Each structure stands twice: as structure tokens, then as C-alpha cells.
Amino acid sequence: MSGEERWCVVTGGRGFAARHLVEMLIQYDLFSVRIADLEPQITLTTEEQNGVLGHALKSGRANYVSADLRDKPQVLKVIEGAEVVFHMAAPNSSVNSHQLHYAVNVQGTKNVIDACVELKVKRLIYTSSASVVFDGIHGIINGDESLPYTDKPLDSYSATKAEGEAAILKANGTNGLLTCSLRPSSIFGPGDRLFVPSLAAAARAGKSKVSLSVWMAIKVMLTSEFLLKTMLFMIGDGNNIYDFTYVENVAHAHICADRALASEQEVAEKAAGQAYFITNMEPIKFWEFTSLILEGLGYERPRIKIPAFAVMPIAQVIELIYKIFGPYGMKVPQLIPSRIRLLSCSRSFNCSKAKDRLGYAPIVPLEEGLKRTLESYPHLRVENQPKRVGQSKASICLGSGKGIVMAAELLKTLNNATGNIENRKHLCQTMYLDKKQTLITLLVLVAIYYNFIASQSTIVTAASKLLLVVSIFLFIHGNLPEKVFGYTIEKIPISYFILSEERSHQAALSVASSWNAAVNVLKSLCKGNDWSLFLKVVISLLILSFLGAIPFQTLFIIGLPVAFAAFYLYEKNEQAIDSMFLEALSLVCKMKSDITKKVAGSKKKD
């Protein structure tokens, strides 16, 4: 810079893409940079303190201003004296709050426009989104700026971004102000706190065998980290094309836009008042890109595909749950219908207009961008993740860890199998034990279903059938020889059928204790003072009445797979699910406290 000091403003300057723009503006020595954001003061990372931003803040070439764009006087203060404004501020796109998005993306943007006009700012460059033309139903291949705003936007973020962009473009030429809007598609790179970390957390939760979609569902339902363990499924057919944009290319596009608007009149007029798609100009399959990130972090790539319509009901339920529990502090869900559509549809854009009118071309290729991104997340690599120690609660519940012992025994036998006959025999017995248990479990469940549930027998008939089957089985089993076709028949010891005095005593005490607890509840209800207890009883009875209305056949069909899945998931994600449960419990307690206070307050008034 030479002569008079020139200032630019970056709103939302501590955001993901905005940080890169701030550093690029300082490096290019184009302006002194005023960073505007919500935080009372700027907090730098160690890398930033030692980098160009830290030095610029110390030298005065950059400064930080705390400002809320919803407050016009604050906006005027931030923009005063600026030659150009890069308006990048926006709420997190994952926050599902129309009120917040409208307040910032529409009203806040209008405050920025008014301030620019009033203070005679020369150029205003707006960061929009490629989602403003995307409805999530119809895929876009090589779409250009002739596409209209969608009538059915994905979410509040996209809807309000479109409205803000329209206001920016309409303001072009007002009091000499030149404006344009940039529409980056799917930004990634170092500093990303959403896409790459979330993907790594999913892979980490399942040791590269995680259902990303259902994992998100669990996260939302329990208001914490997304977790599930089966396979990392592809949502859709896996062939949807996507345009990703490396974050430095987004920053570079903003500088290209400013240089174009600051050029001679003919070039500036041609560039101003327009919207531009910004990408890496290297369309790629969405799930291929995802796989490259996973493999780069040391995880396996997804291989199994599930149709979007199969996941959509889960997303709709999660969105409904958030609407109910959001006011009580539930964290914002990621697995919502709009996200499913984003994951399963094609979305690629043509950047010819930005190239012709702004002189934009990516400065970092996709492959190099991926490399830099992966290098910036060493803590997310699979080899740097903490190892699990000890036995899970689910394993203890399902046989006191016998499955783990058996697996360890199997591994030991495999390692020691040197061709020895005894070793091979031990290996076969260990593997047989697992298969036998699995087969017996399946046969028992099938038999129970077809004999006692599908037949819709009465309780007396079902009990009679059960006794008959048990009697026949015991008689035949007792008469079998010790070995059949080389397999040893394990006889059932008589001790299995004996109920000891200690167990019978414990059972009687348990029944008596339950009865006394029920009587105490009734006594408390009769006094009419304990509203908390009353609400618990009412809710419990409502749940019981709901469950009682469900046919036992339906309950068996639904409950059995859910029970198996629940134990499997808990065994794999014990610590995370425990923390989720505690968080959910605190929400419920808060709700109960609020309801109790309201009821007690209304009672006092009466």
C-alpha cells in the first residue's frame, strides 16, 4: 500500500472461509483489514499468533471489532471508512432456526447495504451459496446462473441466503455502490469444523464400518455425537456428481471479484450486479470424494448403498424431535430431510461466467486441496485415536463377557495353530461353539414366533404348547447317546431346574419390595402434594396404555431387531452413548422442573 491507508471490512471474519480471506488479503497487501464478528474479542490459535494475522494485528494492519449485524448502529461503526466490504457473516447452516437465519441473512444484510450506501462504500461483495437454486429433489448438472431461485428451498439457511443475495444485487448502482454475489459450492479445507470432523467421527465410531446416516440419527436423538456401528452406507446410488470448492479458492474468488469491480468502467459494469458460481471446476462423485477423505485418514471407504427414501423417514422423525425438544436445549440435528437430499442428489455448476467476468480460476487443484486438508487433521487419523480398555457393559449384560473370552480364545488358538492336531481340534470347537449358539438362538426365536405369536394363541394355549414342547425336548434329549455324528451331546444337569432357598427368598423379597413401593406411591398420590410424582405416574400409565394397544405379534417383530441392534450399538459406543443418555436425562429433568413450576404456580393462583 502506498499513500492513504485503504481499509476493507470482512464481516463474520472469524468464520471458516472468512479466516482464509483475511489472511489472503493481508498477504496480498491490498488493504488494511477490519475483522468483524460477534465475539467480544478475538482469540487466535497458536498458528495464527505466529502467522501473518498475528503480525498484522500487532502492527495495526488489521484490527478486530465486535459487532452484531442485526444492530444497524454497530454496522455503521464497523463499516465507516472502508473502501470495500466482504459480507461473509452468516449463522451456521446446520442451525435449523428460521428466525435466526432471517435476522442475520436478510435483516443483517439490509443493514450492511444501508450502511454501505450511507457511508459511500465503493464495493460490496456478498458470500451466498450454491444452494439458493437447489431444491434437493431435482439434480443439477453443470448448472449456470440462468437457473432461478428455487420455489422450495432446502432449509431456512438457503431460503434466507437467496433473499439476502437478491437484496445485494438490487442495491448495485445505489449511490455509486457496486455489488456482486459469489455462490461457492461445498467448501472444504483446513479449519473446517463440520464436514471432515463429522466424517472422521463417524468412521472412528465404527472403526471404518459406520452407518453415516443412522449414526447421524443417533446423534440427533440423543443430542450429542453422531454414533452407530454397522457399515458406512452410501445414501443413494453413489453416482451423484458434486462440485467441491477448496477454501483458498473461495477466498481467491472474493479477491478476484473485488479486483473486477475496481477495474476500469467497462469491466466493472459488466461484473457488477451479478451472481457467480464458484467451484474447483473439477466435478467428482460425492461418495468418491468422501471415500478419499476416509482413506486419507486411514479408514475404509463406504461400500454398501441404501436408497434415500429408506433414510428419509428417520430424518423426518429427527426433525420433529428437534422441534419438540429444541426449546429445552437439544443440540441442532444434522440428519434432517434437507441433508439427505444433499447427500443423494447431483449438484455441479458451471463457472464460465466467473472466469469471463471476474477472471476467476482455481489456484489450488482438488487433489492438492485434499492433501492439504488431510495434513491439517493429524489428530483425526485412525492411528491417533484412543484405544478402548476394559469390558463393555453390554458384554457383561449378555453373558458376563463370554463372547469376548471366546473371541480371545479363538485368536489364541489361531496364533498357536502350528499344524498340531490338538490345536486344530480346539480351533474347530471354538468356532463350533459360536455357530451352535447362533443357530440355537435363531431356532428358538423362530419357534417362539410361529408357535406362540403368529398363531395368536391365548395365554393358556400358549403355556400348554410351551410345556408340551419342553417335555418332548427333554425326553428326547435325555435318551440321546453321548455322541452323534462325532459331536458331543451336552446333557442338561439337574441343577438347572432346582430353585435354591436363597433365590426363592430373594424373589419373595423383590415382590414384597415392589408391592410396598407401589403402596407408597399411592399414599403420596392420596396426599395430593407431590406434583412431580403425579406427572411420573401419569406419563408411565400413558406409555403403558400405548404399549398395551400394540399387538404382541407386532411388538415381537419390532422389538426383537431393535433389542439386538441396541445391544450391539451400546457395546460398540458405550462411553459416547452414556454421555448422550446423561445429556438427554438432564433435558428431561429440566422439562420436568419447568412443568412442575408452572403447575405449582397455577395452583397457588387458584
| In the predicted structure, residue 358 carries a pLDDT above the cut 90 | yes
Q: What is the mean pLDDT of residues 433-458?
A: 64
**3-state percent helix, strand, coil for the chain, nearest multiple of 5:** 60, 10, 30
3-class DSSP assignment, residue 180: strand
Q: Which residue in this structure is represented by grid cell 429427527? A: 318
Reported confidence tier of residue 545, pLDDT bands at 50, 70, 90: confident
Please state, in angstroms and rounded to a whole number, the distance separating the CA atoms of residues 457 and 554.
Answer: 14
Alpha helices in 449-487 (DSSP H): 459-479
H or E element at residue 276: strand 275-278
For residue range 61-82, what is the model confidence (pLDDT) as tens digits?
999 999 999 999 999 999 999 9
Please state, in angstroms and rounded to a whole number, the distance separating the CA atoms of residues 235 and 479.
Answer: 54
pLDDT at 52: 94
| In the predicted structure, residue 207 carries a pLDDT above the cut 50 | no
Q: Which residue in this structure is represented by grid cell 447421524? A: 216
Q: Tell which residue, 479, 506, 499, 500, has the closest CA to residue 491.
A: 479
pLDDT at 385: 75
Please state, in angstroms and rounded to a whole number, the distance separating the CA atoms of residues 315 and 320.
Answer: 9
For residue range 581-604, what is the model confidence (pLDDT) as tens digits?
777 777 777 776 777 666 666 655
Q: Which residue in this structure is represented by grid cell 474347530? A: 428
Please state, in angstroms and rounded to a whole number, the distance separating the CA atoms of residues 216 and 336.
Answer: 9
As given in the structure block, the three cell numbers for residue 529 are 402434594
Parallel/antiparallel/unpaired status of strands 140-143 and 347-349: parallel
pLDDT at 158: 92
As given in the structure block, the three cell numbers for residue 515 are 408391592
3-state SS, one letter per residue, for 218-245: HHHHCCCCCCCCCCCEEECCCCCEECCE
Share of the chain above pLDDT 70, in %: 72
User: Higher confidence at residue 70 or residue 311?
Assistant: 70
Amino acid, res. 162: A
For residue range 26-64, what is the model confidence (pLDDT) as tens digits?
999 889 999 999 999 999 999 999 999 999 999 999 999
Domain 7-384: give its CATH code: 3.40.50.720
Angle at 108 between CA 164 and CA 257, to 5 degrees: 55
104 Ramachandran zone, left/alpha/beta (phi>0; psi -120 to 50)? alpha
Per the CB < 8 A criterion, the answer to whether 36 and 11 are in contact is yes
Domain ranges of the chain: 7-384, 393-497, 530-605
Number of H helices, E strands in the chain: 24, 17
pTM to 2 decimal places: 0.65
In this structure, what are the phi and psi dihedrals at residue 556, rounded to the nearest 5 degrees? -65, -45
Reported confidence tier of residue 173, pLDDT bands at 50, 70, 90: very high
Per the CB < 8 A criterion, the answer to whether 145 and 244 are in contact is no
Please state, in angstroms and rounded to a whole number, the distance separating the CA atoms of residues 195 and 189.
Answer: 10
End-to-end C-alpha distance for the chain, whole angstroms: 73
Reported confidence tier of residue 107, pLDDT bands at 50, 70, 90: very high
Cα separation values, 303 from 170, 234, 275, 298, 570, Å? 47, 7, 38, 16, 24
pLDDT at 473: 80
What amino acid positions are annotated as catalytic residues?
161
